[in-house]
Chain A
Amino acid sequence: MEFALSEDQRMLQDSLKGVLSEAAHLDRIRKIAAGETGEAAALDAALIEFGLSALMVPEAAGGLGLGALDACLVQEALGYDVAPSRFLATAVAAKVFAGKPETLGAIAGGEAKFALALTELCSRRDGAGAELKGGKLSGKSLLAQSVDGATHILLADTAGTLHSVAAGKAKITVMQTIDRTRIFHELAFDGAEPLVSVTPDAETLAFARLLVAADTLGAAQAMIDKAVAYSRERQQFGRVIGSFQAVKHMCAEMAAKLEPARALIWHAAHALDIGDAEGPMMATLAKAHLSEVGTFVARTATEVHGGMGFTDLVGLHYWYKRIGVNRQLLGSPEQARETAAQLQGLVV
């Protein structure tokens, strides 16, 4: 028995962190948030150079064939540096189109860059939802991710079927959120013909949700690290504030909640990797759990920074907003918990 990361997994995460410390430093994140597209492109190029596109594509289709746990480690590193990335969309697309070698090859080769439009798989608003009629898709999808620069869109229709659609077929409108580093869009289709269509299993949404949870894990870990570092430097009343029990206990509570949550991400990802029947339920539970723990950490770490945490100067708000957006994405914690209850037969 061994419940730990392998040497390869640690190396994967460490080397990505190394790339991100250069490619996603805070100055660049600020510029991306200010709308400097050149900076976003430079980060994107660094991540493509690192090989993120091919990571999740099976080896037979020209990829590296990594699993859900590896994907979580990548997403965690991206969250740690609040780096916007297409990785989540790419990883989900590679899983959805596992039986379509041509699509997989295009993902691995970088020719197919997917945006993710799965919101309606969880929450369909009045007036939203793309309907398939006579082989053509019409209607809207809200809060699509990674649309800028995408060649394809992974779209969930109103029946829950997933389609690959050429990105040019969508009329796009920016949806401004609290997170300016990741741009979300409304997509409108009017008779778009899907390129490939797949009926998803429970695992697809669970996997996407698990990646969002892993992103929150990384962002929350960064916030704890920043809070602890700040508490060792900042002096008040002639002492570093980290020597006050009130501050120490805030940090201890954050770590006490987040450390077991990390193990939950590993366990759920491993369960998906080995095809454990409990996998989708655990992944869904992990999304809800990380949302709660992340929200607690985001608030508490900001408070440890005192007034500075509230300013734009230290930039802590990028992590706060990253966690805040992740909490709602692909279903609120309440929604995820209800799905988890359904997946284990507790809802009759």
Chain B
Amino acid sequence: MKLTLDPQYEAFRAEVSDTLAKNAHLAPTSEDKGYKNARRIAWQKLLIANGLAARTIPREYGGYGAEPDILKSRIIAEEFARSAIPGPMAGQGISMLVPTLLELGTQAQKQAYIRPTIEGEMIWCQGYSEPGAGSDLAAVRTSAVEDGDHYVINGSKIWTSTAKQADMIFCLVRTDPAAKKHEGITYITFPMTTPGIEVRPLVDMTGSANFNEVFFTDVRVPRSGVIFAPNKGWHVANATLTHERGMLGDPNATKARLLELITLMKAETVNGQRLMDNPVLRDRLMKLQGEVYAMQANGLRITTSRLQGQPAGLAGLVVKLQGCDLNHEIARLAIDALGELGILYEEGEHLRADGNWQWRYMYDLGLIIGGGTAQIQKNIIAERGLDMPREPKLAKA
């Protein structure tokens, strides 16, 4: 057990903190909205040049080219959080497509896509889920039929975030309808400007369109957009899904929310009494704090496993299930603590925290379902973590 860092890492922390402080005046502000905002792109390029974004991506593809170092990545994230300076761009292109290309893309694909993606000049969306392929992702039916050096795509996708803004899509399509479910899928990329693509916003319970539906009608795309190989899309997608699951349930984000809740309960009063002085609310808060501390310690265990090149096992498998549920529960307590005012939303004089707690209580339910439902997570924990038997396959009628 040793939770302190070696001097070389403390020196690195000082360096990062210094770089951030020196450049803080160049960071985008709340005025700099939207994708491809010039100031945001300039900031992202500055971060890459200083090794604070795209850190381990090779220089030839526009990255900083450092050796992977989990502790340094962690220090960078902590320093952004501590200084409250806007961090690197995120998004499905950066977090999911780029790692996949690095692992399985051709030289030409890496050269064409990685640099503009990490610099924020090229926005991506992910075409995985379909109306008939949610938890059973391998059931995708969107078809891609060969036509010379093109595919012709027909079908539809759902839950596609940033489809309106995206330049490109990475997409799972069925290229061999005769093959077994997992073996006829291809992972393909193509421009969202291709004729025949229609994007319809999907309004969710929060009142905004955080996702879209995407419809394909005779969309002709070059076969050169295939990643890895035709009919190997399931393998490629699994490489990417690992990256997505890791992002949901980050314990440091959960801890930050708990601190917000503590601040709220100290500041807000009802009948002249602080919410914190209500013993029932305080007990509920402490219950959640126990869970937050447990998830944080669990995170330290995962980091250590990664540093040692070991699989994180059960500790890793439980993060998405537990983390998303905990976020939801924190929002629940905040709403209950606010009492009658907890129902206010979007605007108005008496609104607290911009109505964020209600927004989160709804959006977090979406995250409990999305990215592998809670029930699918439990199957994974039972089958991979506890080595319990898989569901027997039904005989085909």
A binding-site residues for B, Cβ under 8 Å = 1-6, 69, 224, 228, 231-232, 239-240, 242-243, 245, 248-249, 251-253, 255-257, 259-261, 263-264, 266-267, 270, 273-274, 282, 285-286, 288-289, 292, 333-334, 337-338, 340-341, 346-348
Contacts and interface: CB of A to CB of B under 8 A. Distances in A.
* Residue picked from A69, A253, A286, most chain B C-beta under 10 Å: A253
B333 to A, nearest CB: 13
16 contacts: A1-B71, A4-B305, A249-B375, A249-B382, A256-B318, A260-B291, A260-B295, A260-B298, A260-B318, A264-B290, A267-B296, A267-B300, A289-B290, A333-B287, A337-B282, A346-B285
Contact of A286 (B4, B290, B303, B390): B290
B297 A255 contact: no
A346 B382 contact: no
Contact of A338 (B283, B289, B307): B283
B283 to A, nearest CB: 5
B322 A288 contact: no
A264 B294 contact: yes
A267 to B, nearest CB: 4
Q: Is the interface of A mostly helix, strand, loop or mixed?
A: helix
Contacts of A260: 291, 294-295, 297-298, 315, 318, 322
A259 B290 CA distance: 13
Interface string B193-228: 000000000000000000000000000000000000
Contacts of A239: 392
B318 A242 contact: no
Interface in B328-344: none
Contacts of A285: 286, 289-290, 293
Nearest to A274: B3
Contact of B294 (A228, A240, A252, A261): A261
Interface size class of B (residues with CB under 8 A): 35 or more
Given A255-B386, A259-B314, A340-B286, A289 B294 contact: yes
B290 A3 contact: no
Interface of B: 1-5, 71, 262, 266, 274, 276-277, 279, 282-283, 285-287, 289-291, 293-298, 300-301, 303-305, 307-308, 314-315, 318, 321-322, 375, 377-379, 381-383, 385-392
B177 to A, nearest CB: 29
Contacts of B285: 341, 346
Contact of A340 (B71, B289, B389, B390): B289
A314 B240 CA distance: 45
A167 to B, nearest CB: 36
B265 to A, nearest CB: 8
B353 to A, nearest CB: 19
Given A1-B2, A288-B290, A289-B287, 17 more contacts: A1-B71, A1-B300, A1-B303, A231-B388, A242-B388, A243-B392, A248-B383, A249-B375, A255-B318, A255-B381, A255-B385, A267-B300, A282-B293, A333-B287, A337-B286, A346-B266, A346-B285
Contacts of A249: 375, 378-379, 382
Contacts of A243: 388-392
Contact of A252 (B266, B282, B378, B389): B378
Contacts of B293: 264, 267, 282, 285-286, 289
A239 B388 CA distance: 13
Given A1-B304, A266-B297, A348-B277, A245 B391 contact: yes
Contacts of B385: 252, 255
Nearest to A263: B297
Nearest to B318: A256
A3 B297 contact: yes
A270 B296 CA distance: 14
Contacts of B291: 260, 289
A104 to B, nearest CB: 24
Contacts of A248: 378-379, 382-383, 388
A263 B388 contact: no
Contacts of B266: 346
A320 B392 CA distance: 32
Nearest to B9: A1
A263 B386 contact: no
* Residue picked from A3, A251, A289, A333, most chain B C-beta under 10 Å: A3
A260 B251 CA distance: 11
A36 to B, nearest CB: 36
Contact of B301 (A69, A240, A263): A263
B388 A3 contact: no
Contacts of B303: 1, 3
